[in-house]
Amino acid sequence: MTTAEADVRAVLSRLTQAWNDGDATAYGRLFTEDADYVTFFGLNFPGREAIEESHRALFEGPLKGSKLTGRLGAAAKVRFVRPDVAVAVVGGGSSLTGADTADEGRESTVSFVLVHDGGEWLITAFQNTRVSDPRS
């Protein structure tokens, strides 16, 4: 594994840790100022400030005590489209009760675009898609 790939994986691991700690500030710091954050509902939160504030409301409200399951950093498929741009795709889920396994219906596939900016890797685009069976 290259240093760049390890650094990208570390960002995804810090994202999981910030969520599990309910730390909206740490969560938001992992994004570029102009990032786009698209939820599984299709809502876009544009910019680091909107990402942080929306997660603060979630972490203090309906998602208080929730936990991301899986190991985003370790499990992600990471590829570099340029030396300073990485795409990562990973499956995962969440538990509203803080359990180690995802609650039923809370599995997602998440796509990230990360850029090497100012000496660090940051997320500039995020897309969360809830896993569902189109036959049902």
What is the residue whose two structure tokens read 């992992």? 30
Report the alpha-carbon distance of residue 136 to residue 89 in Å, rounded: 25
What integer pLDDT is reported at residue 9 of this predicted model?
95
Q: What is the CATH number of domain 3-130?
A: 3.10.450.50
pTM over 0.85: yes
Contacting residues for 125 by C-beta, under 8 A, at least 6 apart? 35, 36, 38, 111, 112, 113
Q: Which residues pair with 117 in a beta bridge?
A: 120
**Which H or E run includes 7?**
helix 3-21
pLDDT tens string 62-106: 999 999 987 777 788 999 999 999 999 998 888 888 888 887 888
Tokens representing 12 are 């995804």
Beta bridge pairs of residue 109: 91, 129
Question: What percent of the chain clears pLDDT 90, i.e. is strictly above it?
Answer: 70
Any idea where the domains of the chain sit in the sequence?
3-130
